[in-house]
Chains A and B, each alone.
Chain A
Amino acid sequence: MEVLENLRAGRHGLRPCPLSVPFEMMCGVVPDPVPSLPDRHARLSVRQLELGWLGYQEIAPAVADAIERFGAQRVGAALGTSTGGIAHTEEAYFEWRRTSTLPPRYNLHAHSFHAIGRLLRAEAGWRGPTYVVSTACSSSAKVFSSARRLLRSGRCDAVLVGGVDSLALTTVRGFHGLSASSASRCRPFSAERDGMNVGEGAAYVLLERDGRARAYLAGIGESNDAFHMSAPDPEGRGAIAAMRAALADAGLTASDIDYVNAHGTGTVRNDVAEAKAITEVLGKSVPVVSTKSYTGHMLGAGGATEAVFSLVALEQQWIPQNLALDPVDPEIELDLPTQPQQRPIRHVLSNSFAFGGSNVTLAFSGVPA
């Protein structure tokens, strides 16, 4: 909830990196203390799963209600993570290097990607399909596609989607090594942007095939850049393909879109390529916001977090402002609001792009008045 309050207030949640690294970096940090898991899950009490658990509590009543209405076998989950429990293995590895022994507390299952699904399944009691998608920074947007397949095929009546990642030395040092991170607040679409801020957190959405919708998943577009493992296609061709596919899937045209939640990492290459793609598909007059200027880049949790922001925009008929934007990159010809706007919003696109050229655009529609 703090994140949504910050969004509403135009207030970022970026802080100096709390990890021990020999350089400066701002990060999207969940303030301590993050509660440990209950004793019955003590073996899984590592930060990534603690964040996933903490974030889940807000949606747990809705999931319990879905289980009650549809039955445990008819509720499933498709969850995203990029880091998995690597931070847990980092601690264990460093101790092993010192002592030649893995610490007794080390749990390989807590390292694994799918532990979040097993944990929440065990606790919530759903018994439908439960698995994890890990496509780096598009992970928890790609889960919408997996979930829709579960709904369309008749496997499930409700599917929990979401994502969770925690800060880890591997990612913080890795992005620094790629010269992709910033020592100061990230500034997506600004002429003075110099990189992204790694973030952490969790976000969830409950999808139902039928029922009391607050908004609709109208369309999904996926593509591969087929260009480079860590750099986007500079012409944004993969992003263009994903956005066009999402529009076609939703039966919408460019003029139907009232707001775009951009991937907008704050790296030089991503933002200019994405801006080209948005201009090509939607033109220059659709409001575009990168909410990573509030949260940092939450990697495997980013897609779901930004889906939630998109749904808030639809429900509240309101879009947030871009932060730290001025001066805008002159190469970027987008409508980039610097003030929050209360305005009619019928349909929203949310972009997520990733290493490996994994692209996905989600189209959400509001409930007609």
Chain B
Amino acid sequence: MSAYVLAQAAWMPGRADVDAVLEDRVSAEAKRPELPGYPSRLMRGTSVVTRMSASVAARALARSGVDPRTIPAVFGSAYGEVCIAIEQLEMMVTGDGQVSPALFKNSVHNTGAGVFSIAHGNHIMSTSLAAGPLTVAYSMLEGHGILDEGASHVLVVVADEALPVPLSEVVQWESFAAAWVLGREPPRDAGPDGEAGGEAGPWIRLAAPQVHEGPQQVPDVRVPPGLAAHPCRSALDLLAAIHRRTPGLVSLGREDDEAWSIEVSVEGRTVEREGTAS
């Protein structure tokens, strides 16, 4: 089954949304992710990966018009709460040897999914995945699988925060999160930024991810240096293809002999947008 893109959102430090991430446009106002609808008490002691996941999820959902209480959700991350993991180890070294309960409860890989469900009163279901450099591919695959099972919509979030010292001695990247709201049917209402397309389209449709053999079409995306090695780097290409309404096969990453891609197609009325394909 293919899925319609109702909305997307992204965040990097200093880059508040999709266009800023794609243009690598940094602003001081976007130092921290906005957290609309998340009680500060709930978010206290949460990590960057959880906060940016929560942020992109809320913003994509707001744009889509889909009720956050009733949407199933997939959260993908290669390293999850790695900063809290290291913070806990430091507490073992320097403190009284105890691990803070406040930190520990937020240390699980599904913390982002948990705070999302609590903040929005979502009792439906969520899952949290990890697949290294194929995390975007498998998160999309899981999202399509949930639609296949009959859900009308699904939220797909991918995020990894910058590795903490000393793990950053091995490899480095910047924090980065992206989210998509996918639906079985074309969107009925245009989102504030027009991504959803409205009743007349254009609609962006994603085929189910496929194992890919052969060349992949890579959108002309300026990759911020901090994302070159990021496990969710391929999300950037997908964000760009959707944002620019560029049909084609987009790479969703590779590990060893395994490569995945996703077919992006554009349906319905086409709209000329500056700097975009139509």
Q: Give the interface of A toward B (CB within 8 A).
A: 21-22, 73, 82, 84, 86, 89-90, 92-94, 96-97, 102, 106, 108-109, 111-114, 117-118, 122, 127, 129-136, 142, 145-146, 149-150, 152-153, 155, 169-170, 173-178, 222-230, 237-238, 241, 354-358
B78 touches A223 (CB 8 A): no
Write the chain B residue with the least CB distance to A226. B117
- B134: interface (CB < 8 Å): yes
Q: A174-B107, A225-B117, A355-B114 are in contact. Are A108 and B170 (CB under 8 A)?
A: yes
B108 touches A224 (CB 8 A): no
| Subset of 23 A-B contacts with CB under 8 Å | A89-B86, A108-B167, A112-B79, A114-B132, A131-B134, A134-B110, A135-B110, A135-B126, A136-B110, A152-B145, A153-B148, A155-B141, A173-B88, A173-B92, A174-B99, A174-B104, A177-B98, A177-B101, A223-B125, A225-B117, A226-B121, A238-B123, A356-B110
Q: A152 CA to B1 CA in the complex, in Å? A: 12
B114 touches A170 (CB 8 A): no
B148 touches A152 (CB 8 A): yes
Excluding A134-B109, A357-B118, 15 further A-B contacts by CB distance (< 8 Å) are A102-B166, A102-B170, A113-B109, A129-B141, A133-B130, A134-B128, A135-B109, A170-B89, A170-B107, A224-B125, A225-B117, A226-B122, A226-B123, A227-B118, A357-B114
- B131: interface (CB < 8 Å): yes
A89 touches B89 (CB 8 A): yes
Q: A146-B142, A170-B88 are in contact. Are A134 and B256 (CB under 8 A)?
A: no
Residues of A contacting B123 in the complex (Cβ-Cβ under 8 angstroms)? 223-226, 237-238, 241
Residues of B contacting A111 in the complex (Cβ-Cβ under 8 angstroms)? 79, 167
Residues of B contacting A109 in the complex (Cβ-Cβ under 8 angstroms)? 132
Of the candidates A142, A237, A357, the one whose C-beta lies within 8 Å of that of B127 is: A142
B110 touches A114 (CB 8 A): no
- B93: interface (CB < 8 Å): yes
- B266: interface (CB < 8 Å): no
- B47: interface (CB < 8 Å): no
B142 touches A354 (CB 8 A): no
- B106: interface (CB < 8 Å): yes
- B273: interface (CB < 8 Å): no
Residues of B contacting A108 in the complex (Cβ-Cβ under 8 angstroms)? 167, 170-171
A133 touches B256 (CB 8 A): no
Q: A132 CA to B89 CA in the complex, in Å? A: 24
- B258: interface (CB < 8 Å): yes
Residue from the set B80, B85, B115 with the largest chain A CB neighbour count within 10 Å: B85
- B9: interface (CB < 8 Å): no
Q: A130 CA to B79 CA in the complex, in Å? A: 17
7 smallest beta-carbon distances between A and B, as pairs:
A356-B114, A149-B145, A134-B109, A113-B130, A174-B104, A230-B105, A222-B125
Q: Give the size category of B's interface with A.
A: 35 or more
Residues of A contacting B90 in the complex (Cβ-Cβ under 8 angstroms)? 93
Q: A304 CA to B166 CA in the complex, in Å? A: 34
- Report the minimum CB–CB distance from A313 to chain B (whole Å): 26
A153 touches B208 (CB 8 A): yes
Residues of A contacting B36 in the complex (Cβ-Cβ under 8 angstroms)? none
- B113: interface (CB < 8 Å): yes
B130 touches A134 (CB 8 A): yes
- B59: interface (CB < 8 Å): no
Residues of A contacting B167 in the complex (Cβ-Cβ under 8 angstroms)? 89, 108, 111
Q: A146 CA to B143 CA in the complex, in Å? A: 10
A97 touches B93 (CB 8 A): yes
Which residues of B, 133-175, contact A by the 8 Å Cβ criterion?
134, 138, 141-142, 144-146, 148-149, 166-167, 169-171
- B100: interface (CB < 8 Å): yes
- Report the minimum CB–CB distance from A99 to chain B (whole Å): 11
B105 touches A355 (CB 8 A): yes
Of the candidates A21, A94, A112, A228, the one whose C-beta lies within 8 Å of that of B130 is: A112
- B255: interface (CB < 8 Å): yes
Write the chain B residue with the least CB distance to A228. B118
A131 touches B131 (CB 8 A): yes
B85 touches A224 (CB 8 A): no
- Report the minimum CB–CB distance from A366 to chain B (whole Å): 25
Residues of A contacting B97 in the complex (Cβ-Cβ under 8 angstroms)? 21-22, 173
- Report the minimum CB–CB distance from B145 to chain A (whole Å): 3
A145 touches B101 (CB 8 A): no
Q: A22 CA to B98 CA in the complex, in Å? A: 9
Q: A113 CA to B129 CA in the complex, in Å? A: 9
Q: A312 CA to B106 CA in the complex, in Å? A: 35
Write the chain A residue with the least CB distance to B165. A96
